[in-house]
Amino acid sequence: MHKKDLYLSGKGLFCILNRKIERVKTLLKKSLQQLIEENKENIMRDKAQLKRIERNLEQKHTDSQKGDA
């Protein structure tokens, strides 16, 4: 048997696959973390925008009541 054949048989192949799996898991964790951070930023921006809209609506409501009086 060649050295390469021994390496790729049994334990060697298992080690290669394990390293690849760990690498993929690491990349997925990084990608997931990035998506979580982006979602947090989007949520904060959306909340701020909702607050502005609520203030604008309250102001319009107040202004319209003053106009009725």
| Contact between residue 6 and residue 12 where contact means Cβ atoms under 8 Å apart | yes
Q: Would you state the pLDDT for residue 6? A: 61
* Boundaries of domain holding 23: 3-68
Total domains, the chain: 1
Predicted TM-score (pTM) of this structure = 0.59
Q: Convert the pLDDT of each residue in 9-61 to its tens digit.
A: 667 778 888 999 999 999 999 999 999 999 999 999 999 999 999 999 999 98
